Structure 1
Amino acid sequence: MMELVEPAPAKLNLALHVRGKLPDGRHRIETIFAFCTDGDRLAVTPADDLSLKISGPFVSDLGSSDENLALRAAQALQERAGVKGGAALALTKNLPVASGIGGGSADAAATLRLLTRLWAIDPKHAAAIAPTLGADVPACLLSMTARGDGAGDDLQLTDAGVSGKPVLLINPRVEVSTREVFARWNGEDKGSLDDWRDGRNDLEPIATAMVPLVGAVLAWLSVQQGAEVVRMSGSGATCFALFDSEEARDAASVAVPREWWKLATYLR
């Protein structure tokens, strides 16, 4: 039976500036999205009905597959495109849940790409559905380095000069609520995002106050030899460091405390 496979790359926010509120109540941000060469994995085979099976190291941290964003994406695409057939989806969950690296959004985006191929439908349907599933889903649908404005879904492809860069991701195995982190933003606009290397993540101090382990991870990464840029991604709790060489990244990866999750990878 034919099986199609699609990666769901981990998403990083190289910088994330919170500038204010939009008329619809969402936060207005400026960010640079980048994507790793590793992440979750989606596979699909033709079927009469839509279904989702989940496996992988973080499957126990997810709720019912009926509530999964990947399945919701599939249902929305099926309805919009008027597809009569179904699909048997299989998600391998390699990334931590609620960790600021786009796990659910990346899974939904990969599902849209995968089913667009399987059902041979116009990609415009996936592009129309993506914003309805979450602010990060349009960026994850592209899975290319891009600047995000508005709620992060107003996208413009950009060259951040990071393709092929060795990167180490660390999560202290603590979930952080995106909603709660944004709710604690104090409303201070600290300025626009110009060069991401000189930028910041405005959610970092909030998440660190909520989960001190985030600060511990950032401090640990900051003293690793060869670490050039150290930041938290999204609303946390995953932090990352860009390294000047693969050897420096791998040396740091070996030294990561055993109780923390890690991923040594590259940027696309």
Structure 2
Amino acid sequence: MKTDDYSALAPAKVNLFLHVGPVQPNGRHPLDSLVMFAGEAAADRLSVMISDDLSMTLTGPGMTNPDHIGPVDDNLVLRAARALQAETGSTQGAAFTLEKHLPIAAGIGGGSADAAAALRLLTDLWGTDTAAAHKIAPALGGDVPVALQGHTALMQGEGERIRRAPDLPRVPALLVNPGLACPTGPVFRAYDAAGGGAGFREFGAVPPFERVWDLVHWLGNQRNDLQAPAIAAVPEIAGVLDTLQALPDVLLARMSGSGATCFALFDTEDAARRAEAQLSADRPDWWIRATSLGDAA
């Protein structure tokens, strides 16, 4: 049994495009999405040590609205730990400290990233088989399998099928959230009510691109199917997108996931940092992070 203190980043997941099929009898939707992960500037931090039972302490600037995160005992980190115990028969415990930096209910998979980080840390701390973590990941949430793998990938099926997309450049980006939660359930229900999903099909693979500009040009022909219903639920998202599109040197602005976080893509990291400085001065009430997107660290 290991007794060291372990820690890991839990980076934001960004859906560069998100195509959504019609609702299935089980209430879920087939998805096709190109996913990349942010760097350290846009990530939660999770640490853990061996304990007699399972517990978690929440800290960090993302806890300014603690009511949004729900009961600690129902947090995905502890749910992941309990599921891994059940799958492996482990009787070991763990004491987590989650330093929350990512906004909640924001379309960037913060809770899923935290759960994936917990599974990686516990696999090491408890000495369990990595296959156990991958087996239980889909039941924890659609974004958990791709977050657990941590690679740029197509996320398909209900999130359980991951197809790596290795031949893509890292993409300089600006992530922005207006400080408003956009819960996933109502957005999907509005999408279903509008008859969403007709003509859905999956990509076989993402073409290889060496240059950011070429990748972004290809992405411009894709879409986020949940963007319209999310804007209907949280109209401020449209203003965020307009603001991002007006920034200097922006190549593409789009919403991630079910919102309300939006992203702007740039050709260089310097351009993304300049945009961060400008927008942070104009909108100090928004969550704004310049980063680069690609494989998780």
- CA apart distance, 1:154: 1.5
Partner of 1:181: 187
Partner of 2:18: 16
Residue segments in structure 1 that go unaligned for 5+ positions in a row: none
Equivalent of 1:259 in 285, 289, 292: 285
Residues 166 and 244 in structure 1, CA contact (< 8 A), matched pair in contact too: yes
Equivalent of 2:9 in 7, 11, 16: 7
State how 1:1-268 maps to structure 2 within 5 Å. 2-38=4-40, 39-59=43-63, 60=66, 61-159=68-166, 161-163=168-170, 165-185=171-191, 186-188=194-196, 189=198, 191-192=200-201, 194=203, 196-256=219-279, 257-268=283-294
Count residues with an aligned counterpart.
Answer: 267
Residue segments in structure 2 that go unaligned for 5+ positions in a row: 204-217
Deviations 1:124-180 (A, max 9, x none): 1101111111111111111111111212222111136232x2111000000011000
Corresponding residue SS for 1:20: coil
- CA apart distance, 1:123: 0.6
Q: How far apart are the structure 1 equivalents of 2:284 and 2:167?
A: 32
What is the letter of the counterpart of residue 206 of structure 1?
A: P
- CA apart distance, 1:23: 3.8
What is the letter of the counterpart of residue 233 of structure 1?
A: S
Q: Write 1 or 2 for the structure with the bigger share of strand.
A: 1
Corresponding residue SS for 2:13: strand
Q: How far apart are the structure 2 equivalents of 1:237 and 1:11?
A: 13
The list of structure 1 runs, each at least 4 consecutive aligned residues, that deviate by more than 3 angstroms after superposition, is: 190-197
TM-score w.r.t. the length of structure 2 is 0.86
Q: How far apart are the structure 2 equivalents of 1:49 and 1:217?
A: 43
Residues 99 and 236 in structure 1, CA contact (< 8 A), matched pair in contact too: yes
TM-score w.r.t. the length of structure 1 is 0.95
Moved more, 55-64 or 126-135: 55-64
- CA apart distance, 1:209: 1.4
Q: How far apart are the structure 2 equivalents of 1:112 and 1:4?
A: 12
Q: How far apart are the structure 2 equivalents of 1:160 and 1:104?
A: 28
What is the letter of the counterpart of residue 88 of structure 1?
A: A
What is the letter of the counterpart of residue 91 of structure 1?
A: L
Corresponding residue SS for 2:173: strand
Q: How far apart are the structure 2 equivalents of 1:114 and 1:121?
A: 10
Q: How far apart are the structure 1 equivalents of 2:139 and 2:110?
A: 16
